[in-house]
Amino acid sequence: PSSLRYFPEQREPETNASAALPAKLLLSGIKKTHKNNNKKRTITKKREKVQLCRVNPAPSQNAGRGSGPEESPVAALHAPVATETLEFGVGDSPVTPQPPLVPAEAGPLPQGPSFPPLPEPAARSSPSEPALPAGPHWAYEGPHGQQHWPEGHPACGGRAQSPIDIRTQWAQPDPSLPPIRPVGQPGTPAFTLSNNGHTAVLALPPSLRLQGLPRSFAAAQLHFHWGRPGHAGGAEHLLDGHRAPAEMHVVHYDAERYTNASEAQHHAGGLAVLGVLLEVGADPHPTYDNILSHLGSIRYAGQTTAIPSFSVQDLLPPRLDLYYRYNGSLTTPPCFQSVLWTLFQQPVRISLAQLEQLQGTLYTTTAAEPEPQRLVDNFRVPQELNQRLVLSSFPRGPEGYSTGEVIAIIFGTISSCLGLFLAIHFVAKRMRARRAQDQDVVFKASSHRTHSDDGPRP
């Protein structure tokens, strides 16, 4: 600034005074004048340098220790200067300093708790590193159980929640629903399997796509729900009141509108989940064994492991054109109502030993906790339908009869046959009795005539 640049005016020497001075004094005066000018130029340069340091301050060990009222340059870097203009610098022009480049702390992605919670990135493959979901603590039972979920997650108290009990006779047939068509290849030699404290989660690559929906959906993850050893029920969705032993959910997100499942779960129709009911059969399922055989590597919450990739489509039932469709939510906190549900009518059968692997291998606690707790009964109770429409991709018919309906039909048929048999029996018995009575009357009448003929004659 001009106020910091002081240069003395150059005056013409007075001829009458300078002529009378000796030459030595004149030379000393000139030297003193140059010395003073150089000193003032040095002060000016130092002041300009101080102003430059205020614009681009350098770190100093004595930062913030100044005794004056003015704030130190280093301390100003940590102040919230991004929203205000500090007017200082060279040339009287306001200068807006840039905020410091401080690395942002990486926080966990929002979960959906599935949907149970989404898994951690695949890079976290060490079993000792935690992969637990963020947000308020929740559980299926106890003080943080599902009846308390709406307290920390308001969406859990909504009117379009999942799972539901599907009454098959109330499902509206819609022949325009196309078959589900999984497409794409994994494109990776390994999948990441993790225990998030609520379920076993297998992360899936987005190269696996789903066709047969309004838009293109990319795979995100799959997980399981089950009961406890010795109990038959563990699935979340019910068909006419029947609960299967377990259920698998394959989570997809709308890849045309969103970049990942964490973003898509906040928007209506952002997620599409395939529900597969698991029943017990005689033989083990070889594809499910690709997952279940590795549960021992993720016994405790927060542990992850890498497993060889395989065909995810082989986990689904053979008939992908038979399913129920409705709008619902994630079945775990935060319970966002953004899911287009597809529940296949046909179950997939696994062996009893495979089911017991689900029921008895994992823990909800970490390896460091002194009292381990089994991960069992991780299913939500059915929610109210609240006048939502449930569609079926197939017409009503014998193929669509529920177990209860089949039992009712069989019981009705047996009862009808038994009733008809008893009716015929009683009618036949009555007819035999009447015939016997008629024969007895004829016999008595014949006997009476015989005695009359043998009597005295006149």
pLDDT at 449: 56
pLDDT at 444: 58
pLDDT at 344: 98
List of residues 6+ apart from 448 with CB closer than 8 A:
none
Residue 176 has a CB neighbour count (10 Å cut-off) of 7
Q: Structural domain boundaries of the chain?
A: 1-102, 146-401
198 is catalytic: yes
Amino acid code (one letter) for 398: P
Map tokens 């029943």 to a residue. 279
pLDDT at 383: 98
Mean pLDDT (10-residue bins), the chain, 458 residues: 36 41 43 51 48 41 39 33 32 36 36 38 35 65 94 96 97 96 93 98 97 95 96 95 98 97 97 98 97 98 98 97 98 97 98 96 96 97 97 78 72 86 84 75 57 54
The C-alpha atoms of residue 233 and residue 245 are separated, in whole angstroms, by 4
Catalytic-labelled residue, pool 198, 223, 225, 237 = 198
> Number of helices (H) and strands (E), helices first, in the chain?
8, 16
pLDDT at 403: 65
List of residues 6+ apart from 202 with CB closer than 8 A:
119, 191, 192, 193, 221, 222, 223, 291, 307
Secondary structure class of 58 (helix, strand, coil): coil
Q: Which fold has domain 146-401?
A: Carbonic Anhydrase II (3.10.200)
pLDDT at 99: 40
pLDDT at 262: 96
Contact (Cβ atoms closer than 8 angstroms) between residue 221 and residue 203: yes
> What is 122-184 written as a DSSP string?
TT---TTS--PPPSS---SSSTTSGGGHHHH-GGGGSSS-S--EE-GGGPEE-TTPPPPEEE-
pLDDT at 398: 56
pTM for the model stands at: 0.61
